[in-house]
Structures are given as structure tokens and as C-alpha cells.
Amino acid sequence: MPDLVLYTLVSLDGATDDPHRFFPETGDKHGAPVFDAELERLEGEMIARQSAVLLGRRTYDQWARYWPTSDEQPFADFINAVPKYVVTSAPLAADWANARAVSGPLAEVVANAKAHADGDVGVHASITLAQSLLAEGLVDELCLAVGRVLDPVGPRLFAGLQTLRELELLEAAPTSSGSVWLRYLVRRDREA
């Protein structure tokens, strides 16, 4: 069965609001953050394993304006082609290929997305959705691109967790820019 892979860009202290603050080498604040070659390669390997994504409504509304005309590769080709399940109770206003609104209990939304996927299902950005998925124990794998900054601004990815969760390290890679790529398996058998 496919895994639900939560992927986000964070500061070292877990802030998630503005990825441009976490990857200061980014000069253009209007586009996607610019990674070093190692982060680009690792992100490319991760998205190559995914055949669908879940997005929160705010992320969808922002991304539907940016990604359809972006040439930021390899993510632009991936996100524009992949089936996108947007967790929302309202119809989608923007027209973006392969996107559809879904609603209901998160466990059912995740199960349905996995049932129709032949690869992993990614959760990209969408911090409110990510927090809910973590809180409900629905995340199988956690993948973080950690910037080389401490940031007192922005929501924290792990805010609101009610229980201790043990993670099993799958991959850790420092990069030439001072960032770190982390992949963890979320251990359901070790919840406190």
C-alpha cells in the first residue's frame, strides 16, 4: 500500500510560514525557494515515488496561481501533472489540471487517495492539513528540508501534537549550503 509522505520546508526550529526565510540563498521572493544541487536531487527522488498529492485549500489557491506557468523543475512538471486532492468543503475556484475537491473525515480522505495511487501520496506545504494529519496519526513518512536558520516567526509544524511519536530515521543528508534533508518513518507501534 502507498505511504502518506508529509513533505515541507522548515527552519531548524520548525517554523513553516515562509520558506524564503529558511533558504536565504533565494533571491526572488515571488517564486519557489531555490535549493542547492543536493536538495534538488533529493526532492526529485522523493517526488518520483509519489503518484498523487493532498493539498490544503489555502495552498491550493496559492499554488494554482503559480505552478501552472512555472518552469521551476523538477517540481513544476510533477505538481502540474499529478492528481491533486484538495481538502476543502467549498468548490475549487481556480482551474488547475488534475485537481479535485475532497471532503470528509481525514482518515477516509487519506484511504481513498491511497486506494487510487500506484505510488506514495504526498502532502506538500499545507501546514494546517499537515498538523491535522500528524495529530490523527495518518502520516507514514515525514520528509523535511531544513534550512540553516532559526526563525521566531510562523506556525510550527508540530504544534498541537497530543502524544509523543517515535520516528525511525530513513535518511539524513547535510548539503553544501548548510541545509539538511531528513526522512523519517513515523512509528505507529511506539506512540506514547
Q: How high is the pLDDT of residue 78?
A: 96
3 state DSSP class of 121: strand
Whether the CB-CB separation of 16 and 9 falls below 8 Å is answered with yes
Q: What is the pTM of this model?
A: 0.90
Whether the CB-CB separation of 63 and 49 falls below 8 Å is answered with no
Whether the CB-CB separation of 85 and 123 falls below 8 Å is answered with no
Whether the CB-CB separation of 119 and 162 falls below 8 Å is answered with no
Which residues form the domain of 161? 4-190
pLDDT per residue as tens, the chain (192 positions): 899 999 999 888 888 877 766 666 655 555 556 678 898 899 999 999 999 999 999 999 999 999 999 988 889 999 999 999 999 999 998 889 999 999 999 999 999 999 999 999 999 989 999 999 999 999 999 999 998 888 888 888 888 888 888 999 999 999 988 889 999 999 775 444
Q: How high is the pLDDT of residue 192?
A: 45
Whether the CB-CB separation of 60 and 94 falls below 8 Å is answered with yes
Question: What CATH code is carried by the domain that includes residue 46?
Answer: 3.40.430.10
- Structurally, how many domains does the chain consist of? 1
